[in-house]
Structure 1
Amino acid sequence: MAATQTDSEREMLATAQDLDMVVDLSKGELFCDPNFSPGEDILYDLSESTIIPEGVARIDKWLRLSEIHPNPQLFVDGIMAGDIVQGGLADCWFLGALMCIGTRMDLLKRIFQYCAPHRGEYRMRFFVNGAWKDVVIDDRLPCDAKGKPVFSRCADANEFWVSLIEKAYAKVHGTFQTLERGLMRDALVDLTGGVSDKIEVGTPGSTVANELWDTLVKDPASYSRLMGCVAFGDGNGEGELDNTGLLKFHAYGIMRTAVYNGERLIHLRNPWGSVEWNGAWSDGAPQWSVDAKVALDQTDADDGLFWMSFDDFCSHFDEIDIVKVFPEAKWTTQVQVGKWEGESAAGRFHYAPAPNPQFLLDVEQRGVAVVALRQKEARFTGDDKLENVHIGMHLMKAPTGARIIHFHEDECIINTDPWIDAREIAKFLVLEKGKYILAASTFAPGVESDYMVRVLLNHSKFSLTPAPSMEGSYVHLSASGSWAGASAAGCANTWHWIDNPQYVLELPASLQLSITLTQHAAPESRSHVNIYLLPSQDSADYTFNMTPVLEPGAWTDEGTICLRGRLDAGRYIIVPTTFQPDTAGSFTLDVYAYRSELPSPAGFAISLGTGNTGYTQIDGAWAPGCAGGCNNFESWTSNPKYNLTVGAGAGDSVYVTILLAQDSPASGLAVGFLITGQGEDEILGQTGNWSRGLFNTASFFLSPGVYTIYPTTFNPEEYSGFALRAYADPAAAVTLVRA
């Protein structure tokens, strides 16, 4: 004969039926969870805490539900948002999320899986790091000396679903203390498996605020959504915000919106179950007429529920957490998981694009899509010392389906900016039929972390797979070098930048390139580095022309920097440099180009230019009696003069470049030089103009012999030190001596 069910069992079975939850009413030995047993180690991190958390300090004993109340029930009158009362943990972000789904039986079904109330065993599910995870707990709860639960509870003393789900969520995170402080949108994702986002609130009456209102009142047809918000205030500690009844840094659930007599209103709830907004439209405010109370079902009670005008809401809240839940009947999800590690932890595409994880998204028909990137949250590891890293993603059309080397911001359909340390970032967009490449990365290179890529579409005709290997689809050239001695010349703030290593880049055709500079140093020893890509100087293996072909990026000490762009066929000079001079170190240059754009890989080359090292130099100064100015003045021959000898064994003529650099370009002197035959006044050559820049150069074809060079200022009696250099093929045996 079957046992007669009690009223509480019938109540549980009725709610369980709505939840599709398995209920086991058999009796037997009480279940004790061996992996989350009562004790300090599941309350807080003993290795880190020297002070017992305030809520934990109130714990006196651990009690079964039947020891807390003679008639314990999982649910009383079903599940309602008003059931939730916050306890001794600062986990309003989680309770606010729980409150948002408190009336959504379709979402709660995923959480409550199994219960055996007579044996104290419960099983729930959470969406942990991208997958649903079952969590089994017993019903022992931390209580105070009076036998009352210390942490969150239900408003009804004999209802316990809130306490149990909080305990199960704490088990996922390792300790109860780990639940202190978090983001409501993260908890909403863990409870629903949805995709999170945040929306800026905007100031009252602004376009941003009006667009937000339109979003709040619009009922999406193909998905459901849950929303919450946090009152941030002025950032000075916790407590009440400007005597409004709102609490700073406290999470609230958004229950609904309404318009009454033209006034836009929003309904919120405090997880505490008390402490409410006290301004216009609050409980008991003069705005409430009898008709208004009836229309909006308003009851004056200290239950944490309150209305406020939308303008007041915009004045006190900065952003809304929103999670969109996509029903499996209407949406298809594709997932890829992996880890940034080793070469694939290449950092944002400002640094090194090619090695980062990339995925081929093949869309067979136009559709609405959600593209999300999620990292493994540090909170789920149970290690409070870990922090989320800054993550981002790029999405570009890829007609061939091959991996992409160059992600150009103006061509990206998705281009993360700014990079944030959120657990998940997501973009909502319409995708046309076609092939796309999705790349996921951390902001900084060398940061290792697990990740998950999710793509949802409102149809099933698409696939998400790892992008094909780049091998065969691109040509990669590499060169190594170092900054040492004179070649550790620093940036173009001084004329010595020309002494940095210079590399010749030969392009046979117009090519889309990615040029990457990686310095070889430990993070704490890295220097700020950059890349100058400059035009070749008269086909020489070096250049003095600081006119970048591609604009250099920001100086960085992240270890790697990348320069990207399309170049015409021809010869270029790559100059890797540190920002500060006299900064020694070694580096590698990598150049990537698509094989399909090359007429012949053999015509694509990179080599170390030697021209900027084959020079002779002499130092001098313009001083009283030897500062005669340029050849506009008769005194020009009184300038310092130097003999330039071009070796007789150099052939019929030698290509010689003369460089004159003043010691203090900030003084603004215009400088140049003149060339004559030895002991002659006839000018054979000169600079094209007298320059106020870092230096002035001119190149000549000179026959073997001796010449005289006059470095000059434009005007007489202008004084400064200078350096004079002559560049030529070493075989020419060019020398400079004071005449």
Structure 2
Amino acid sequence: SSIIYPQNRNGEPQYNPCGKYMVKFNINGVHRKVIIDDFLPMGYDGELLCSFSANKNELWVSLLEKAYLKVMGGYDFPGSNSNIDLHALTGWIPERIAIRPNNPEFNKDKEFTKIMDRFHKGHCLVTVATGEMSDAEGERAGLVPTHAYAMLDIREIMGKKLMQLKNPWSHLCWKGNFSERDTTNWTPQLQKALNFDPKSAQMIDNGVFWIDYESILRFYDVIYVNWNPELFGHTTCYHHTWTAKEGPKKDVYNIGDNPQYRLELKSSHPTKAAVWILMTRHIKDRDDFANNREFITVLVYKGSGKRVFYPYDPPPYKDGVRINSPHYLCKMLEDVNGSSTYTLVTSQYEKNNTIHYTLRVYSTCEFVFSKIMEPYNPKYEKQLTGQWKGRTAGGCGNYPDTHQSNPVYQLKLDTAENYLLIELRGPKQYSVGFEVFAVSCNESAGSFQKKTSGDYRRGFCVLQLDSIPGGIYNIMPSTFYPKEEGPFLLNISSSNPFTISQLQ
């Protein structure tokens, strides 16, 4: 209720006889204020048709709901999950833990111990949600399908792992092990240890019940944990718009056009740092939330902090799963001594629409977070169209008799220090590559005789040349095998003016 205004000097919300209130939510990456009045939906008999407190003198529950639903499109809200809702209400970091007992990546005992330890320290809020189940199965178990339950307590006692849950409807309780009607598992010793009397619990249906962890694993689908951001001493974020026209629809070959960021962790002494990266896709309207078709993730590459072009060469340090939730969380636990550098790449599955997002980093150690900016000047970009055909489809250097017949382009740079990006795109059924030869150039730290785009790759390859001296350079694009005919595109981006022409 501390996010409701006006407030008194103690920071407590107070009644406004004028009926106007302001509620502060964490929406789309920043705090936003929502203005509401105190008109609430009511039925013909004067009953409230919204959430309300059992204490008739309390308004805050109804006001919070009205403000949140105003943002989300109204009382015919299509539904959300507790992870998203609690993040909006509190700003606490949302984590989704899929309950997959047969998946080796899900360590059920480790997850239980972690949640129990952190919950009792006040570090997190926990809810659990059921998955799809038939009406008959739900009735038999006393559970609601695809429904979230708040966790009020968690204990490991007398060899039993137990959770105390609450149905937010304040009725309908679990009917299985450790329910109020379970006469087998509720021993007198366990009742005393948990201060729980099953007979008294049967007298009132308030939606609160105990359930064992094994039943959670069987009947529930996901654990939602929202973490206190104050656990991290350092945080910052970037807000960005990623237009639909930036980069390919599928980034399985090339992620060089994806928004990328440099993260450098710093510590003057050896330390183990917790680093969490939260990507939040901004929700623009009700339909966007109800029919979320955008699958987002963050890829993390360890190393130089430079732009990454190939998705799996090298393979990502953290390969995120693309999910159609507004939030994606990547968690890292890193050994830092001096500095460690990473490249963060935002990614979508089959990008169709322009999206707006916030990328926020939380860390227990100091860090520098910046968007990777290119040294290339948009004024100095050229695209050349060519083709491998007949004699000029000469193949790679493994075929010396025909290799020299490939197309050759001559590039001239007059400036002393230059940054170049060369991209070659060809038919995806061919592996393509290119070589760059220095015909004449000034001797410097960046000078070279020959550079290649590396291994031949399906349909796309790229080469970055940093701090190269002015001079004349020849570029020879080729397919791996001779006689592979087809068109290609050669894109040149430069920090300085250049001229380019085709020699053969």
Helix, strand or coil for the counterpart of 2:96? strand
Q: Distance in 2 between matches of 1:243 and 1:185?
A: 27
CA pair 414-326 structure 1, distance change in 2 beyond 3 A: same
Q: Distance in 1 between matches of 2:258 and 2:474?
A: 28
Helix, strand or coil for the counterpart of 1:396? strand
Match of 1:392 in 2: 297
- What letter corresponds to residue 415 of structure 1 in structure 2? D
Preserved contact between residue 362 and residue 462 of structure 1 (Cα < 8 Å): yes
Preserved contact between residue 336 and residue 453 of structure 1 (Cα < 8 Å): yes
Preserved contact between residue 534 and residue 573 of structure 1 (Cα < 8 Å): yes
- The answer as to 2:498 corresponding to 1:594 is no
Listed one character per residue, the Cα deviations across residues 237-270 of structure 1 (whole Å, up to 9, x for unaligned) are x575261101111111122211232111111110
- The answer as to 2:283 corresponding to 1:377 is yes
CA RMSD, Structure 1 to Structure 2 (Å): 4.1
TM-score calculated relative to the size of structure 2: 0.73
Match of 1:251 in 2: 148
Match of 2:396 in 1: none
Preserved contact between residue 275 and residue 362 of structure 2 (Cα < 8 Å): yes
Preserved contact between residue 96 and residue 223 of structure 2 (Cα < 8 Å): yes
- The answer as to 2:228 corresponding to 1:336 is no
Match of 1:93 in 2: none
Aligned match of 1:419 in 322, 346, 367? 322
Match of 1:213 in 2: 112
Preserved contact between residue 477 and residue 605 of structure 1 (Cα < 8 Å): no
Preserved contact between residue 257 and residue 267 of structure 1 (Cα < 8 Å): yes
- What letter corresponds to residue 149 of structure 1 in structure 2? L
1:419 Cα deviation from its structure 2 partner: 1.4
Q: Distance in 2 between matches of 1:435 and 1:404?
A: 13
Listed one character per residue, the Cα deviations across residues 697-735 of structure 1 (whole Å, up to 9, x for unaligned) are xxxxxxxxxxxxxxxxxxxxxxxxxxxxxxxxxxxxxxx
Match of 1:687 in 2: none
Q: Distance in 2 between matches of 1:574 and 1:369?
A: 34
Q: How does 1:200-279 map to 2 (within 5 A)?
A: 200-203=98-101, 208-219=107-118, 224-234=123-133, 236=134, 241=138, 243-279=140-176
1:568 Cα deviation from its structure 2 partner: 9.2
Aligned match of 1:141 in 40, 60, 71? 40
CA pair 242-139 structure 1, distance change in 2 beyond 3 A: closer
Gaps of 5+ in 2: 391-404, 410-420, 435-449, 486-504
Preserved contact between residue 392 and residue 440 of structure 1 (Cα < 8 Å): yes
Preserved contact between residue 256 and residue 266 of structure 1 (Cα < 8 Å): yes
- What letter corresponds to residue 91 of structure 2 in structure 1? G
Match of 1:8 in 2: none
- The answer as to 2:228 corresponding to 1:322 is no
Preserved contact between residue 393 and residue 441 of structure 1 (Cα < 8 Å): yes
Match of 1:169 in 2: 68
Aligned match of 1:468 in 364, 373, 377? 373
Q: Distance in 2 between matches of 1:321 and 1:370?
A: 16
Q: Distance in 1 between matches of 2:92 and 2:237?
A: 14
Preserved contact between residue 4 and residue 24 of structure 2 (Cα < 8 Å): no
Q: Distance in 2 between matches of 1:570 and 1:360?
A: 23
Q: How does 1:279-294 map to 2 (within 5 A)?
A: 279-286=176-183, 287-294=185-192
1:476 Cα deviation from its structure 2 partner: 8.9
Q: Distance in 1 between matches of 2:458 and 2:230?
A: 54
Aligned match of 2:430 in 515, 524, 532? 532
Match of 2:274 in 1: 368
1:316 Cα deviation from its structure 2 partner: 0.6
CA pair 457-572 structure 1, distance change in 2 beyond 3 A: closer
Helix, strand or coil for the counterpart of 1:285? coil
User: Identity of counterpart residues, as a percentage?
Assistant: 19
Match of 2:193 in 1: 295
Preserved contact between residue 430 and residue 484 of structure 2 (Cα < 8 Å): no
Q: How does 1:296-311 map to 2 (within 5 A)?
A: 296-299=194-197, 300=201, 301-311=204-214
Match of 2:252 in 1: 350
- What letter corresponds to residue 595 of structure 1 in structure 2? L
Match of 2:354 in 1: 448
1:345 Cα deviation from its structure 2 partner: 4.7
Preserved contact between residue 226 and residue 322 of structure 1 (Cα < 8 Å): yes
1:573 Cα deviation from its structure 2 partner: 8.1
Q: Distance in 1 between matches of 2:456 and 2:406?
A: 5
Helix, strand or coil for the counterpart of 2:61? helix
Q: Distance in 2 between matches of 1:116 and 1:371?
A: 39
Q: How does 1:424-439 map to 2 (within 5 A)?
A: 424-431=327-334, 432=336, 433-439=339-345
Q: Distance in 1 between matches of 2:131 and 2:454?
A: 56
Match of 1:104 in 2: none
Match of 2:24 in 1: 125
Q: Distance in 1 between matches of 2:208 and 2:370?
A: 47
Q: Distance in 1 between matches of 2:249 and 2:122?
A: 34
CA pair 341-223 structure 1, distance change in 2 beyond 3 A: farther
Match of 2:88 in 1: 190
- State which structure, 1 or 2, has the greater radius of gyration over its C-alpha atoms: 1
Match of 1:546 in 2: none
Q: Distance in 2 between matches of 1:208 and 1:594?
A: 42
Q: Distance in 2 between matches of 1:118 and 1:422?
A: 39
- The answer as to 2:59 corresponding to 1:160 is yes
Preserved contact between residue 114 and residue 122 of structure 1 (Cα < 8 Å): no
Helix, strand or coil for the counterpart of 1:212? helix
Helix, strand or coil for the counterpart of 2:63? helix
Match of 1:403 in 2: 307
CA pair 343-483 structure 1, distance change in 2 beyond 3 A: farther
User: Which deviates more from structure 2 when the two are superposed, residues 167-176 or residues 292-301?
Assistant: 292-301
Gaps of 5+ in 1: 1-14, 26-108, 487-501, 507-512, 519-528, 537-566, 577-589, 615-739
Helix, strand or coil for the counterpart of 2:430? strand
Match of 2:402 in 1: none
Preserved contact between residue 241 and residue 354 of structure 2 (Cα < 8 Å): yes
Q: Distance in 2 between matches of 1:382 and 1:335?
A: 27
CA pair 126-409 structure 1, distance change in 2 beyond 3 A: farther
Q: Distance in 2 between matches of 1:428 and 1:115?
A: 39
1:447 Cα deviation from its structure 2 partner: 3.0
Listed one character per residue, the Cα deviations across residues 536-583 of structure 1 (whole Å, up to 9, x for unaligned) are 9xxxxxxxxxxxxxxxxxxxxxxxxxxxxxx9969998886xxxxxxx
**How many residues end up aligned between the 2 structures?**
428
TM-score calculated relative to the size of structure 1: 0.51
1:479 Cα deviation from its structure 2 partner: 4.9
Helix, strand or coil for the counterpart of 1:227? strand
The structure showing larger relative contact order (alpha-carbon pairs under 8 Å, at least 6 residues apart) is: 2
Helix, strand or coil for the counterpart of 1:217? helix
Match of 2:49 in 1: 150
Preserved contact between residue 114 and residue 124 of structure 1 (Cα < 8 Å): no
Q: Distance in 2 between matches of 1:403 and 1:568?
A: 19
1:276 Cα deviation from its structure 2 partner: 0.3
Listed one character per residue, the Cα deviations across residues 139-180 of structure 1 (whole Å, up to 9, x for unaligned) are 1110111111112122234433211111011111231112x3
CA pair 424-517 structure 1, distance change in 2 beyond 3 A: farther
1:273 Cα deviation from its structure 2 partner: 0.3
1:444 Cα deviation from its structure 2 partner: 2.1
Preserved contact between residue 504 and residue 609 of structure 1 (Cα < 8 Å): no
Preserved contact between residue 129 and residue 149 of structure 2 (Cα < 8 Å): yes
- What letter corresponds to residue 30 of structure 2 in structure 1? A
CA pair 348-438 structure 1, distance change in 2 beyond 3 A: farther
- What letter corresponds to residue 393 of structure 1 in structure 2? V
1:220 Cα deviation from its structure 2 partner: 7.3
